[in-house]
Amino acid sequence: MATGTREAMLGSAIRLFRERGVGDTSFADVLEASGAPRGSVYHHFPGGKKQLVSEAIESAGAYVAANFENSEDGPSEMVDRFARFYMRELERTGFREGCPLMAAAVAGAKEEASVPAARAFSQIQDSLTGSLEQAGIDADRARSLATLAISAIEGAIVLSRTEKSVEPLDRTRRELARLYAEALD
């Protein structure tokens, strides 16, 4: 039960960060969303909100980065799968929830959020760069293509939320597919 409560709190924090951002999510919000009893906060997170934020973003980062790890898919498929995942998520949540890593990255000076987000983005970029290099792309171009894909998708998520349409993300996904196909040809 304790593990269930802790996991529910982490899951609720991630969902709320995706919707509201890190700064606009309180412990009370997490408790309400998770259904956890008030006394469980410091039992599971003795370091307070900083610990909850850090662990939630680390967990979200690991989940997002897993899309790019240990994949037999090529780089084009990895990027496409990443974009399609967020297209489904945006539609599922009525365009309320974006990427938790983006929410953490823009949390300003909140090191407990920005540091794990930076690690996750770096892991994603390294995995995609490695996949591109394995496909025969030179290291500098591979790094640039990886950066472009991540940046374009994250930006398109923001546009899709704003427009309440997956069209910006879908256009970005299709354009990245063309660009990657040309690079890998």
The residue among 160 and 108 whose pLDDT is bigger is 160
Mean pLDDT for all residues in the chain: 91
Q: What's this model's pTM, rounded to 2 decimal places?
A: 0.87
Delineate the domains of the chain, giving CATH numbers in brackets.
49-184 (1.10.357.10)
* Secondary element (H or E) of residue 117: helix 111-134
Q: Which residue has the tokens 């898919």?
A: 73
Evaluate if residue 161 carries a pLDDT over 70: yes
For residues 138 and 121, the answer to whether their CB atoms sit within 8 Å is no
Quick one: three-class SS letters along the chain? CHHHHHHHHHHHHHHHHHHHCCCCCCHHHHHHHHCCCCCHHHHHCCCCHHHHHHHHHHHHHHHHHHCCCCCCCCHHHHHHHHHHHHHHHHHHCCCCCCCHHHHHHCCCCCHHHHHHHHHHHHHHHHHHHHHHHHCCCCHHHHHHHHHHHHHHHHHHHHHHHHHCCCHHHHHHHHHHHHHHHHHHC
- Of 47-51, 73-77, 104-108, minimum mean pLDDT range: 104-108
The residue among 48 and 169 whose pLDDT is bigger is 169
Query: Where does the pLDDT of residue 67 fall: very low under 50, low under 70, confident under 90, or very high at 90 and above?
Result: confident
Radius of gyration of the chain (CA): 17
Mention every residue, 6+ apart, whose C-beta is less than 8 A from residue 43.
Answer: 2
Task: Give 100-157 pLDDT, tens digit per residue.
Answer: 999 888 876 578 888 889 999 999 999 999 999 999 999 999 999 999 999 999 999 9
How far is residue 178's CA from residue 116's CA, in Å, rounded to a whole number? 31
Query: Where does the pLDDT of residue 1 fall: very low under 50, low under 70, confident under 90, or very high at 90 and above?
Result: very low
Mention every residue, 6+ apart, whose C-beta is less than 8 A from residue 165.
Answer: 95
Lookup: tokens for 144: 């640039």
Cα torsion angle, 50, 53, 59, 65, sign: negative
What's the pLDDT at 40?
A: 84
